Amino acid sequence: MDIPPNHTIYLRNVYDKLKKDETQRLLYALFGQFGRILDVVVMSGVRLRGQAWIAFSDVGAATNALRAMQNFPFYGKPLRVEFSANKSKIVTETFGIKPGKKQLGASTGPRVEPEAPAAAPSGPQPSTPSSVLFVEGLPAATTEAMLSLLFQQYPGFAEIRMVEARPGIAFVEYASEAQAEVALSGLDGFRVDGHALSISFAKR
């Protein structure tokens, strides 16, 4: 019997060689594009490794995440995503949310939110496309792994280059200008831990 859609998704086959808090941050960055995340629970026990739960504020976001991220290569392992069969237990005990109440649970990881519809960018965009994107506005705690997971969802992703001397910026390279343009369109303005990313084509 299929589990009916609900606001909590259950992940299996999660790469388990990272620290628990790092996995939480990566999952926030990866799944935050689909809607507001209430919290993420990552299991670390020997028998429970490779499992995680992500609770969204609405069922629609959870449904979109399930469809889009099924078999997503998370560190080379395809994620298995389904709706949680233990919705009530997770909502009431893990996230501290009582059924019927719209209450956001406290979170230990960075909160990643999609940018709300806004006016057109005020700054000028370089007119010459490039296969390399210039990313600004990154939170101080951003890691290369987090950025890779965010940008590799777009075809043609090649590599991330962060600049130690200048925290908050990075360069993201794609195989072609067209592929870089698709990623720019999808992620410019994306919010990571309250910071809106500013993405443009890197100057040649």
Domain closes at, from 48, 64, 94: 94
- Return the higher-pLDDT residue of 87 and 94: 87
Residue at 1 is within a domain: no
Tell me, yes or no, whether 29 and 84 share the same domain: yes
DSSP 130-193: -SEEEEE---TT--HHHHHHHHTTSTTEEEEEE-TTSTTEEEEEESSHHHHHHHHHHHTT-EET
Q: How confident is the model at residue 93 (pLDDT cuts 50, 70, 90)?
A: low
How far apart, in whole angstroms, are the C-alpha atoms of residue 148 and residue 151?
A: 5
DSSP annotation of 33 reads G
pTM above 0.75, yes or no: no
pLDDT for the residue 87: 57
CATH number of the domain bearing residue 166? 3.30.70.330
Q: Which domain holds residue 166?
A: 132-201
Tell me, yes or no, whether 90 and 136 share the same domain: no
Residue at 159 is within a domain: yes
Q: Which residues pair with 169 in a beta bridge?
A: 136
Domain closes at, from 74, 94, 114: 94
Residue at 152 is within a domain: yes
**Other beta carbons less than 10 A from residue 32's beta carbon:** 26
pLDDT > 90: what percent of the chain? 27
Total number of domains constituting the chain: 2
Total residue length of the chain:
204
Question: Alpha helix (H) ranges present in 11-120?
Answer: 20-31, 59-69, 87-89
Write phi, then psi, for 50 (nearest 5 degrees): 85, 10
pLDDT for the residue 48: 81
Tell me, yes or no, whether 90 and 139 share the same domain: no
Tell me, yes or no, whether 28 and 85 share the same domain: yes
Q: Buried b vs exposed e over 126-141: b needs ≥16 C-beta within 10 Å?
A: eeeebbbbbbebbbee
pLDDT at 100 over 70: no
User: For 176-187, what is each residue's pLDDT tens digit?
Assistant: 998 999 889 888
Residue at 116 is within a domain: no
- Return the higher-pLDDT residue of 41 and 194: 41
Choice among 101-105, 108-112, 120-124 with the minimum mean pLDDT: 101-105
Domain closes at, from 75, 94, 113: 94
How far apart, in whole angstroms, are the C-alpha atoms of residue 84 and residue 41?
A: 12
